[in-house]
């Protein structure tokens, strides 16, 4: 299946906007360029760091109040156990 730019190139050539030599030069140029749509490593790195920071923020926002609540529950249960099992 031809890529999008090859389809457009064929349409321009059939409409007479460019000749066969120009179309071939464009094809040669585009084949040397490689895939420009893929993400580069700085983009992937930035997305990864952003995701980690977002996850850490969610954990801090949810985790800290939850841990405080659970700590209060655990200490009250520990106090009651200590009272019940004192020798």
Q: Are 6 and 27 in contact (CB under 8 A)?
A: yes
Q: How far apart are CA 9 and CA 56, in angstroms?
A: 48
3-state secondary structure of 85: coil
pLDDT band at 1 (very low <50, low <70, confident <90, very high): very low
Q: How far apart are CA 80 and CA 73, in angstroms?
A: 11
pLDDT digits (tens, 9 = 90+) for 10-25: 899 999 999 999 999 9
Q: What is the pLDDT of residue 70?
A: 77
């Amino acid at each position: 299946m031809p890529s999008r730019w090859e389809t457009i190139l064929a349409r321009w050539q059939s409409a007479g906007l460019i000749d066969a030599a120009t179309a071939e030069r464009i094809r040669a140029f585009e084949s040397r360029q490689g895939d420009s749509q893929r993400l580069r490593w700085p983009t992937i790195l930035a997305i990864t760091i952003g995701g980690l920071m977002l996850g850490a923020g969610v954990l801090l926002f949810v985790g800290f109040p939850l841990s405080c609540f659970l700590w209060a529950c655990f200490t009250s249960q520990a106090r009651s156990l200590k009272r019940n099992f004192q020798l």
